[in-house]
Chains A and B, each alone.
Chain A
Amino acid sequence: DAKTTQPTSMDCAEGRAANLPCNHSTISGNEYVYWYRQIHSQGPQYIIHGLKNNETNEMASLIITEDRKSSTLILPHATLRDTAVYYCIVPGNNDMRFGAGTRLTVKP
């Protein structure tokens, strides 16, 4: 299974874009990158996933580098409610390994 590396924590000003990086240098050609987030005391929530093309949905955008060794989750206009732990995951065989993630704090 490809491992991921994320910064432990990040801050972002309310209304600004939050850019959360993730390294997955051992990812193989057919493995997707998934992003989830967990707001305090709640179950994790799916955000977005991608293979090699950039993806966008109503929650976020996902930028994957051409070599696929890293990706960035972008929350275009962060709000206080986006404060959460964000997990970048490259699952293998339906085994979704959640690491420590990045704790994003959106500040007023």
Chain B
Amino acid sequence: DAGITQSPRYKITETGRQVTLMCHQTWSHSYMFWYRQDLGHGLRLIYYSAAADITDKGEVPDGYVVSRSKTENFPLTLESATRSQTSVYFCASMGLQGNIQYFGAGTRLSVL
């Protein structure tokens, strides 16, 4: 199906492990974003990308790494997961016309 998909939907990991969350979009949108949402709070921007091979830090980038080798994919890696990174992670994409972002269904990550 066309759209934006995130995988996995749910992930449980342990402190210190590396975790990669995947995001794939089929619209060829230039921009892609990663947000985290902690329980009862709004979304906070982690990283974003304006195009392939171009990434920039958002509000809360520490502890995360991103890459964008292809336009359609924007993986987010937690190199050494910590309990404070337990959260719901949302990926979004946006075309060049207007600031309309389209969000994935989210990945619920628990770090034990």
Pairing of A with B: yes
Taking CB as reference atom, which chain B residue is nearest A85?
B42
Q: Are A96 and B90 in contact (CB under 8 A)?
A: no
Q: Mark A87-104, 1 if CB is under 8 A from B, else 0.
A: 100010011111111000
When the two chains form their complex, are residues A96 and B45 in contact, meaning their CB atoms are under 8 A apart? yes
Q: Does B104 contact A (CB under 8 A)?
A: yes
A43 and B99 contacting across the interface, CB-CB below 8 Å: no
Taking CB as reference atom, which chain A residue is nearest B48? A94
Q: Confirm or deny: B31 has a beta carbon within 8 angstroms of a beta carbon on chain A.
A: yes
B50 within 8 A of A: yes
Tell me which residues across on chain A come within 8 A of B81, comparing CB atoms: none
How extensive is the interface on chain A, given as a class? Answer: 20 to 34
Contact of B102 with A46 in the complex, beta carbons under 8 Å: yes
B43 at the binding interface (Cβ < 8 Å): yes
Q: From B100, which residue of chain A is reached at the shortest CB distance?
A: A46
What secondary structure prevails in chain B residues at the interface with A?
A: strand
Inter-subunit contact A94/B90 (CB<8 Å): no
Q: List 5 A-B contacts (CB under 8 A).
A: A32-B98, A44-B43, A46-B100, A46-B102, A98-B42
Complex Cα gap A98–B37 (Å):
10
Residue-wise interface mask of B (30-51) relative to A, using a CB-CB cutoff of 8 A (1 in contact, 0 not): 0101010000011111001010
Q: CA separation between A45 and B9, bound complex, in Å?
A: 18
- A45-B90 Cα distance, complex, nearest whole Å: 12
Please give, as numbers and ranges, the residues of chain A lying within 8 Å of B109 by CB-CB distance: none
Interface flag for A42 (CB, 8 Å): yes
Q: Which residues of B contact A45 (CB under 8 A)?
A: 103
Partner of A87, one of B42, B94, B106: B42
